[in-house]
Amino acid sequence: MFAEVIVDILNSETDKVFDYIIPDNLKLIEGTRVLVPFGNRKIEGYVIKIKSDSSVSKEKLKEVIKPIDNYAAILPEMLKLKDFMTRRYNLRVADTLRLFIPSEMRSGKVKPIFKTYCKLNENFNLEEFALTLKKNAVKQMELVLFLREHKIADFTLLNKDFGAQAVKKFIDLGILTTFQEEITRSPDVLNHAKEHFVHTPEQERAITGVKLNENCTYLIHGVTGSGKTEVYMTLIENVLKNGKSAIMLVPEISLTPQIMYNFKNRFGENVALLHSGLSAGERYDEWRRLRNGKAKVAVGARSAIFAPLENVGIIIIDEEHDSSYSSESNPRYKTVEVADFRTRYNSCPLVLGSATPSIASYYYSQIGKYKLLELPTRANGKDMPKIQIVDMLSEIRNGNNGIFSVALRDELAACMRDKKQAMLFLNRRGYTSFMMCRKCGYVAKCTDCDVSLVYHKVEDKLKCHYCGKRFKALTVCPECGSHEIRQGAIGTQRVVDELRELFPDVKILRMDNDTTKNKNSHQKILEEFSNSHPAILVGTQMIAKGHDFPDVTLVGIIDADQSLYQSDYRSPERAFALITQVSGRAGRKDLEGKVILQTYNPRHYVYKFASNYNYKAFYEKEINLRETTKFPPFTTIVRVLVSSENEEIAKSAIRSIYNELADVYNNFRNDFYYFNAMKSPVGRIKNKTRYQILMRFTKLKESDIMEKIYSVADSHKSAKLSIFVEIDPQNLS
């Protein structure tokens, strides 16, 4: 038999797949890590296929030396998934396999750790032994008695307590034996009191609505605080009862200690937590616990979708609308598509959950592709906090040029007087900035694409990130003639400074990228906030999710417009989601919550619907827009991105790709649109120049068109040029 072995998977420039002979005395299965001769070295590789013949002449083939592990590191399911991913995303096999195996294992840096233990030999007889002992050998007698009582003892501790010499002597005499056992470095999670509720009727309906033994995709639309976590945990419990395993994904940012406690409490040792805070050893051990079946529930961020679990019985993706589920750097993939593959393979349900589903997912639930389950009320029976929209233009007209509206200042003062807590939210996403008239709220948009234009300072131009069209930067508002044009955003530090002046005696904390660089700083800030009364927490996206502070009664959204005018067709849905998330922080327990939303565009439909928590009306408006403007889910958007240290190489590659796309266009005339080649919005990264072409096509011909695009892209790949084809990129930088 022969094995196809991929070697050197750390090197992703090329896939190195070679045939090896499997010696007759070796039992190998696909997916096993093996040692193979390579040139005059011995290196590590993975068997990706076993076959009865090889097209390479037999004299040239070498033999597999030996398997490295006594199990297959890559499951049969994952080998199939590899085929799917390499085809769907045009990935290299090496890049794909690297997602499946912990990096600690590949480099061989982290090894399992073993501990040595001691026990008394089975034929040991205390009475006989006592007779042989000298009168003064008290320590030795104690050692024996200790072991008789405890059965098994830690070798190191035994040496320390009773003396290494005594222990050694007993081993030599055959009284004691030592043995080794692997210990796992499981991350500690503190124990919290178990919560046990009677499920609400809504929860019950959602739980029974999910059929566990067939493949189907469900969308759980449940308002913040509706108790979705409880639904997920119950579903997983039922899956475990059927002897199957489960994968639960949350965005990294909402993988809060609270979620971890919840899962550890419910599932104990059965859950493996995969998050960025783990040490290399912990990550490796958690992976192995999943692989050897000691843990059957994987909870983690995006990459946990590759958990090495057999017999998966459910995959749950919480906050399914979150953009972090799309991998935007090589290897690029869409988590939901990988999840779809795995749940199909295992004939089990895929559950997507959100308070604000992505427009695409909700659309699928409307056309019958997904099954919709709804949790329209909060589990504690409380109403959602009231959202008050404040018109910042009228503040300016009334002479208030500051960051805070009068309403927000008054509410803050009242909240501080009551010794409660407030959260102030600023939006920071990406690098983009729009231009806006401070008098009438006008924002420049692309005449062709209906997305906001992005101001490029260097060239002093406004640009559309979809079609590349350029426009003059604003100096005068075309609507009202005002010269007061705002560009750029308010920083967290400035907000904090102004708050300190307004409330000199109040604890004011700040949470953003700058203040959370150290490992535990995130947690420390939250703890300090939680323990301070009154207090104000000023922060970015980081404070929007997951946190449960019972004493937060006020939430202020300082610059809501910032998320509305990103140059992306998804800006409205992201703004809607963010407002809903942030608002969900107020009034979590028994106290009433209030939200103040500051905007220069108070009549925008996003604010109108978000302030009433009217997702469905928002969806209707949005889906109609998408249909008329031909954006997803009615089309697929693809970007071909080339980058090279050599500007000329990049430029000429993108030109010829553009010309070759004309063929695709001719074949799919009514289904395919493409735009001019242009420099990417961020024209240079790590000294590489970047050019791109964007295209859109109907879903109908998607796989045919993708195949063509990939083959065009592949024909231009070279050592000096990287080419990426991105499906529905989350970010066009």
Question: Which residue numbers belong to the known binding site for Zn(2+)?
Answer: 437, 440, 446, 449, 464, 467, 477, 480
Q: 461: part of which helix (H) or strand (E)?
A: strand 461-463
Q: Cβ of 512: how many Cβ atoms within 10 Å?
A: 19
Residue 356 partner contact from ligand ADP, Zn ion, none using kind-dependent CB cut-offs of 5 to 8 Å: none
- Is the Cβ of residue 195 or residue 479 nearer to ligand ADP in the bound state? 195
Binding map of Zn ion across residues 49-68, x = CB under 5 A, - = no contact:
--------------------
Whole-number minimum distance, CB 653 to ligand ADP, in Å?
46
* Binding flag, residue 292, Zn ion (CB under 5 A): no
Q: Which two structure tokens, joined as six digits, stand for 104?
A: 């600690």
Residue number, 5 or 375, with CB nearest to ligand ADP:
375
Residue type, 175: I
Among ligand ADP, Zn ion, none, what does residue 413 contact (CB within 5–8 Å per kind)?
A: none
130 binds Zn ion (CB under 5 A): no
| Binding stretches for ligand ADP (CB under 6 A) | 195, 197, 199-200, 203, 222, 224-230, 379-380
Shortest distance (Å) from residue 523 CB to ligand ADP? 19
Strands 333-334 and 678-685: unpaired
Q: Nearer to ligand ADP by C-beta: 544 or 558? A: 544
The minimum distance between CB 379 and ligand ADP, in angstroms, equals 4
Indicate the burial class of 445 (C-beta count within 10 angstroms; 0-12, 13-18, 19 or more). middle
> What does each C-alpha distance from 63 to 4, 17, 22, 54, 103 come to in angstroms?
11, 14, 6, 13, 26
Distance, in Å, from the CA atom of 42 to the CA atom of 457, rounded to the nearest integer, reads 54
Taking the complex as a whole, how short is the minimal distance between the CB of residue 389 and Zn ion, in angstroms? 20
Largest pairwise CA distance in the chain: 108
Q: Is 437 helix (H, G, I), strand (E, B) or coil?
A: strand
- Torsions phi, psi of 297, nearest 5? -125, 120
Name the pairing type of β-strands 312-318 and 350-354. parallel
The packing angle between helices 228-241 and 257-267, to 10°, is 30
**What's the per-residue H, E or C state across 364-423?**
HHHCCCCEEEEECCCCCCCCCCEEEEEEHHHHHHCCCCCCCCHHHHHHHHHHHHCCCEEE
- Total residues binding Zn ion (CB under 5 A): 15
Q: Which does 338 bind (CB under 5 to 8 A by kind): Zn ion, ligand ADP, none?
A: none
224 vs 421 by CB, closer to ligand ADP? 224
Is residue 569 at the binding interface for Zn ion, with CB under 5 A as the rule? Answer: no
Residue 441 interacts, among Zn ion, ligand ADP, none and using kind-specific CB cut-offs from 5 to 8 Å, with none
Stretch 472-511: interaction string toward Zn ion, x if CB under 5 A? -----x-xx-x-----------------------------
405/553 with CB nearer ligand ADP: 553
| Options 2, 162, 442, 697; binder of Zn ion; rule CB under 5 A | 442
In angstroms, what is the minimal distance from the CB of 430 to Zn ion?
A: 17
Work out how close the CB of 571 gets to Zn ion at its nearest, in angstroms, rounded to a whole number.
14
Task: Pick the closer one to ligand ADP by CB: 185 or 199.
Answer: 199
Report, in Å, the least distance between residue 232 CB and ligand ADP: 8
β 461-463/454-456 pair status: antiparallel
Question: In angstroms, rounded to a whole number, what is the distance separating the alpha carbons of residues 599 and 152?
Answer: 68
Segment contacting Zn ion (CB under 5 A): 183-191, 445-453, 525-533, 714-722? 445-453
Task: Name which of Zn ion, ligand ADP, none residue 325 binds, using a CB cut-off of 5 to 8 Å depending on partner kind.
Answer: none
Q: Is 127 helix (H, G, I), strand (E, B) or coil?
A: helix
Question: Which of these ranges, 69-77, 122-130, 433-441, 502-510, lies near Zn ion under the rule CB under 5 A?
Answer: 433-441
Residue 440 partner contact from Zn ion, ligand ADP, none using kind-dependent CB cut-offs of 5 to 8 Å = Zn ion
Q: Which of residues 358-397 bind Zn ion (CB under 5 A)?
A: none
Query: Distance between CA atoms of 396 and 134, rounded to whole angstroms?
Result: 96
- Mark the binding-site residues, compressed into ranges: 437, 440, 446, 449, 464, 467, 477, 480
Check if the beta carbon of residue 488 is closer than 8 Å to that of residue 435.
no
Q: Collapsing DSSP states into helix, strand and coil, what is residue 78? A: helix
- Closest approach of Cβ 478 to Zn ion, in Å? 8
Question: In the chain, what are the helix, strand and coil shares in percent, each to the nearest 5?
Answer: 35, 25, 40
Smallest distance, Zn ion to C-beta of residue 407, A: 23
**Strands 535-539 and 421-425, sheet pairing:** parallel
Q: Which distant-in-sequence residues (6+ apart) come within 8 Å of 463 by Cβ?
A: 453, 454, 456, 469, 470, 471, 681
Pick 69 or 195: Cβ nearer ligand ADP: 195
222 binds, among ligand ADP, Zn ion, none (CB under 5 to 8 A by kind): ligand ADP
Integer Cα distance of 155 and 376 in angstroms:
58
CA dihedral 564, 567, 570, 576 (to 10 degrees): -10
207 vs 508, beta carbon nearer ligand ADP? 207
Taking the C-alpha atoms of residue 494 and residue 503, their distance in angstroms, rounded to an integer, is 14
Q: Which residue's CB is nearer to ligand ADP, number 54 or number 380?
A: 380
Output the DSSP codes for 86-105. Answer: HHHH---HHHHHHHHS-HHH
CB 331 within 8 A of CB 312: no
Selection from Zn ion, ligand ADP, none that 225 binds (CB < 5 to 8 A by kind) is: ligand ADP
- Residue 464 binding target from ligand ADP, Zn ion, none, CB below 5 to 8 Å by type: Zn ion
Question: Phi/psi class of residue 530: alpha, beta or left (left: φ > 0; alpha: ψ in -120 to 50)?
Answer: alpha
Of 479 and 620, nearer to Zn ion (C-beta) is 479
Using CA atoms, how far apart are residues 492 and 517, in angstroms rounded to an integer? 15
- Whichever of 191 and 666 has its CB closer to ligand ADP, that residue is 191
The partner in contact with residue 224, picked from Zn ion, ligand ADP, none with C-beta cut-offs of 5 to 8 angstroms by kind, is ligand ADP
Nearest approach in angstroms of CB 709 to Zn ion is 21
Q: Is 466 in the site for Zn ion (CB under 5 A)?
A: yes
Look at residue 226 and give the partner it binds from ligand ADP, Zn ion, none, a contact being a CB closer than 5 to 8 Å depending on partner kind: ligand ADP
Where does this chain bind Zn ion (CB under 5 A)? 437, 439-440, 442, 446, 448-449, 464, 466-467, 469, 477, 479-480, 482
